[in-house]
Amino acid sequence: MRIGVDVGGTNTDAVLIDGEKVLSWCKMPTTPDVGDGITTAITKVMTDAGVSSTEIQCVMIGTTHFTNAFVERKNLLPVGIIRIALPAARALPPLLDWPEDIANKVGDNIHLIRGGYQYDGRLNEALDEEAIAAAAITLNKKKIHTVAVTSLFSSVNNDMELRAAEILKEHMTDVSVSLSHTIGRIGILERENATIMNASLADMAGSVVKSFRQALKNLNITAPFYVSQNDGTLMSADFVAKYPVLTFASGPTNSMRGAAYLSGVKDAIVADIGGTTTDIGMLVNGYPRESSVTVDIGGIRTNFRMPDVLALGLGGGSLVRQEAGKVTVGPQSVGYRLSEEGLVFNGSTLTSSDIAVAAGYAEMGDISKVSALETGLIAQAVDAIHAIISEGVDRMKTSSEPVPLILVGGGSILINRDISGTSKTLIPDHASVANAIGAAIAQIGAEIDKVFSYDEVGREIAMESAKREAIEKAIAAGADEETIKIIDIEEVPLAYVPGGAVRLRIKAAGQLSFAQNTLTEIFKGKGE
């Protein structure tokens, strides 16, 4: 007996599942204090199913709060940026390819420090500890409270990042430190981007997790609760407070898993249309296709584990504007205020939901409030909405063959015509809460990403060692050993590197073992 919750920018969805049976579900407006919306949603599903809080074994929560913060450029802190790589990487400074508006919010508090390792963990340059201390003092004077630290090849050897964190905490007051080896993969620029993004969300992460925890306490739910990661697996609440960036795309990941679960279709494109954003991904054998390249989040390239998801600024609350005869939709959105600010809800803001009502293919609110809209404006806006989805589908496909399109999310009402490149459009039962269902059926997973020398240990031994390590990490994180499977293997020879060097990335996942609740203990020592 478990509850899945998905907190979106506009709605908070909840489902109560017993085994594989959906007992009840609901969709509630997201509240300014996310905890209030969670409390209301969980109360309703338990009441509707006649289930008490003592019967709940586990609560899984997914959220798009942190992704939306970057898409909309909101609630971001200025960040102290420390790169430990000199004399290498001087020519490409941090924030080089960031959009100007978001780079300005994060700030230019950049410090380049001598140090770093080579691809196999050997020393490239000793860490300049005095420079780290000087940077810490400078950042402290500027009242910077969150710092991102990235070292050359720290995913192979993390010693310098850990030492830098110690020095920063010695010289700064009330500082949150994000270390790149706990977030990203090999590739310093993209890993650094992800780390800076994580650091900028420090305050927001603490606030969101506090709201989650208080909501469950108010409901007298003592069962453990976990938060969905962006690879479709779960992490502890304490861990997400430190690493909110790992929730990026967890909403669409949950939606894709939920879409496969509800429709029975294992290979398809899924479009999750929420109130603020649309996330488009590809299902392969029932799981989201994982990105093998850098992933763009709000215009910023990252390389941490992510499903191959395209995030678009289109949702039920997207603003519709007409300037010089041209109609645009999004990316700004009224979000959870749709029921207050949308025209059909007696508000004064024209949104995509108003357009769907005015066009006659959606029913909500008071249709008379949009009866005066110009026919040309409505037609252009409808075309713009469908063009955004069509372009997204085209970008996600890997061949010209038509594939099924599964629409989920409350914003699926925005689509009323066939999308080019698709064979059929499916909207399964409970589609509006597919994200919450995906959260409820999430698994415990673990991943290793290391460089091995095949000349020294051999391919077979290296592969078995990596698989065993991934499985052991999954067991330690709380997975049922009997259900664990290796679900992804990536083997990439490193060109121009001696010793037959090969990068192995192996992922294992299994069902949550309700007999153990060890996630918190595992993540207390995160930083390994």
pLDDT of 82: 94
Tokens of 454: 């095949």
Residue 81 domain flag: yes
Task: Tell me what the pLDDT averaged over the chain comes to.
Answer: 85
DSSP string, 251-319: HHHHHHHHHHHHH--SSEEEEEE-SS-EEEEEEETTEEPBPSS-EEETTEEE-SS-B-EEEES--TTEE
Query: Could you tell me the CA-to-CA distances from 199 to 67, 167, 174, 230, 287 in Å, in that order?
Result: 14, 17, 14, 17, 29
* Domain assignment of residue 256, yes or no: no
Number of domains the chain contains: 2
Model confidence at 225: pLDDT above 50:
yes
The pLDDT value given to residue 398: 83
pLDDT, position 25? 92
What the block records as the tokens of 525 is: 């020592």
Question: Which of 196, 215, 248 is the endpoint of a domain?
Answer: 196
Q: How far is CA 471 from CA 122, 198, 272, 510, in A?
A: 27, 27, 31, 9
The single-letter DSSP state of residue 418 is P
pLDDT band at 293 (very low <50, low <70, confident <90, very high): low
pLDDT of residue 514: 60
Per-residue pLDDT at 10 exceeds 80: no
CB burial of residue 516 (10 Å; 0-12, 13-18, 19+): middle
Half-sphere exposure at residue 355, Cβ-oriented, CA atoms within 13 angstroms = 32
DSSP helix/strand/coil, 7: strand
With a cut of 80, say whether residue 121 has pLDDT above it: no
Whether residue 142 is contained in a domain is answered as: yes
Torsion sign, CA atoms 239, 245, 251, 257: negative
Q: What percent of the chain has pLDDT over 70?
A: 95
What token pair was written down for 22? 């959906």
Buried b (16+ CB within 10 A) or exposed e, 335-357: bbbbbebbbbbebebbbbbbbbb
> What is the predicted pLDDT for the residue at 217?
87
The answer to the question of residue 322 being in a domain is no
Q: Tell me if 61 is assigned to some domain.
A: no
What is the C-alpha to C-alpha distance for residues 184 and 449, in angstroms, rounded to an integer?
10
- The answer to whether position 434 is within a domain reads no
Picking from 196, 218, 253, the residue at the C-terminal end of a domain is: 196
Helix (H) or strand (E) holding 112: strand 109-114
394-422 per-residue burial string, b: 16 or more CB within 10 A, e: under 16: eebeeeeeebbbbbbbbbbbbbeeebebb
Mean pLDDT of 457-479: 86
pLDDT digits (tens, 9 = 90+) for 297-342: 777 777 776 778 888 889 889 999 988 888 989 888 888 788 889 9
Instruction: Give the range of the structural domain holding residue 474, as residue numbers without chain letter.
Output: 443-511
Answer with the one of 196, 219, 244 that is the final residue of a domain.
196
Residue 123, pLDDT score: 87
Q: What is the pLDDT of residue 300?
A: 79
332 falls within a domain: no
Which residue blocks in 23-150 are alpha helix, DSSP H? 34-49, 65-72, 100-106, 129-141
* 224: preceding bond cis by omega (within 30 degrees): no
pLDDT score, position 308: 82
- Kindly give, in sequence order, each residue whose CB lies less than 8 Å from that of residue 486, ignoring residues fewer than 6 positions away: 467, 470, 471, 506, 507, 508
Residue 69 three-state SS: helix
Between β-strands 2-7 and 58-63, what pairing exists: parallel, antiparallel or unpaired?
A: parallel
Interval 17-55: pLDDT, tens: 988 788 999 988 777 777 788 888 999 999 999 999 889
Has residue 502 got a pLDDT over 60?
yes
- What pLDDT band is residue 240 in, cutting at 50, 70 and 90? confident
Residue 230 lies in a domain: no
Contact 449, 431 (CB under 8 A): no
Q: What is the pLDDT of residue 520?
A: 42
